[in-house]
Amino acid sequence: MVATATIATFVVAALASLFMAWSIGAGSSGSTPFAAAVGANAISVMRAGFVVGVLGFLGAVLQGANVTEAVGTELIAGATLTATAAIVALLVAAVLVAIGVFAGYPIATAFTVTGAVVGVGLALGGDPAWAKYREIGTLWVLTPFVGGGIAYATARLLRNEGVPERVAVPLLAGIVGGIVTNIEFAVLPGPDGSGSIAGAVARTGVVPASPLAARLAVTVALSAVVVAALAAEMRNNAARGQRRFLLVLGGLVAFSAGGSQVGLAIGPLVPLLGEFAVPLPAVLAGGGLGLLAGSWTGAPRMIKALAQDYSSLGPRRSIAAMIPSFAIAQTAVAFGIPVSFNEIIVSAIIGSGYAAANEGGGGVSASKMGYTVLAWLGSLALAFGLGYGAFTAIDSLLG
């Protein structure tokens, strides 16, 4: 039987995890997905906060396992996080994120959580997981260049008078549709316990071909349906078609945010679940509810900060920003890499904004960007230092 004191410690850790989930929902996952849509006047701030909360919850339940397990078990080698270590890491990260929310600056949640977990893990006596750090660092460093670069190129394409929007926008939607058909969901069958729409359809044998060829055929067919549907909408009303595509992109990014960010909130609890026989899906649902609560209560402030303070966005620039954001987010979810949605979205907004600035459009606040980057780097270092120091002090007192 599990001791009462041990159960109480786990309850405290779970409450700290919920606080972290609320902070993430109010900040990173709650604000970034629809910031571009709000900036383009496609949806109101309050409605965006409501919708992103629901979609974030669904993403947490259907896609949250990979990042959750990575945060809980792969950031430290040679040691397992204890309940006390999980509490310290979660509280340190949550406090830093909450400060960012109320100060109006988007603190990168992945930086704070990763720094805090590594800090307490090393203080616990673990060793650095260098292979995982290289994987994480590669994505973090490439994100601004890849996301910003794709956003810049897409924005230039959409502003090119030689390429009609009624052609360019549906083709971009087809690319997004192809990605959607190949991302994995927990409710679909697959070799690793989850599967994609394209894979599930291909395995039915509807397409008489090899598994890879069948999957490719399904992807092309579903993408073609998306292209045709949006092209018809664009012929009737181009502006309305753009806004609807932008809202769909925001929804996809919100869903992806839930799948990634829930792992930052509940990942430190993973080493404790076996002892208490708590199933991971139940914890994912609990973390998703925390994200939802944060999105509904705290996200509007940060949505406004990103949508209005960073750049004056139009529908084309917003579409250009959201496409790479969605693709990078799903890449992170697939490989189980904790990633900052603030970094993803802000980098894409800068890329699309730079394309407009070169042609006399709205620019991007350089000072705001500079302060944001400093906040990201500072949060990583500060979370590591506070996590290491706080756990060392508490361990000494308890010892």
Predicted confidence at residue 311, as pLDDT, reads: 46
Predicted confidence at residue 229, as pLDDT, reads: 94
**Interval 317-333 mean pLDDT:** 90
Predicted confidence at residue 161, as pLDDT, reads: 82
What is d(CA 244, CA 247) in angstroms, rounded to the nearest whole number?
A: 5
311 and 363 Cβ atoms separated by less than 8 Å:
yes
Residue 203 vs residue 237, higher pLDDT: 237
Burial class (CB in 10 A: 0-12, 13-18, 19+), 75: buried
pLDDT tens profile 283-324? 999 999 999 888 888 777 667 666 665 445 677 888 888 899
Banded model confidence at residue 1, pLDDT cuts 50, 70, 90: very low
Predicted confidence at residue 29, as pLDDT, reads: 65
Banded model confidence at residue 14, pLDDT cuts 50, 70, 90: confident
What is d(CA 185, CA 294) in angstroms, rounded to the nearest whole number?
A: 24
Q: What is the CA radius of gyration of the chain?
A: 21
The answer, yes or no, to whether residue 163 has pLDDT greater than 90, is no
Residue 98 vs residue 3, higher pLDDT: 98
What pTM did the predictor assign?
0.86
**Interval 222-230 mean pLDDT:** 94
Banded model confidence at residue 117, pLDDT cuts 50, 70, 90: very high
- What are the structure tokens assigned to 116, written together? 């805090």
The answer, yes or no, to whether residue 27 has pLDDT greater than 80, is no
**Interval 367-386 mean pLDDT:** 81
**Interval 341-369 mean pLDDT:** 71
Residue 101 vs residue 309, higher pLDDT: 101
Predicted confidence at residue 57, as pLDDT, reads: 93
Predicted confidence at residue 310, as pLDDT, reads: 44
Mean pLDDT of the chain: 84
Cα→Cα distances 231→108, 144, 237, 248, Å:
37, 31, 10, 15
- What are the structure tokens assigned to 202, written together? 């291909």
In the chain, what percentage of residues exceed pLDDT 90? 35
b/e for 305-317, b at 16 or more Cβ within 10 A?
Answer: bbbeebbebbbbb
Residue 30 vs residue 139, higher pLDDT: 139
The answer, yes or no, to whether residue 115 has pLDDT greater than 90, is yes
The answer, yes or no, to whether residue 332 has pLDDT greater than 70, is yes
* Greatest mean pLDDT range, 103-112, 161-170, 176-185, 276-285: 176-185
What is d(CA 68, CA 335) in angstroms, rounded to the nearest whole number?
A: 11
The answer, yes or no, to whether residue 82 has pLDDT greater than 80, is yes
pLDDT tens profile 53-72? 899 999 999 999 999 999 99
Sequence spans of domains, the chain: 4-160+256-398
Predicted confidence at residue 30, as pLDDT, reads: 62
Of 24-28, 155-159, 330-334, minimum mean pLDDT range = 24-28
Predicted confidence at residue 313, as pLDDT, reads: 64
322 and 250 Cβ atoms separated by less than 8 Å:
yes
**Interval 119-130 mean pLDDT:** 94
**Interval 13-27 mean pLDDT:** 83
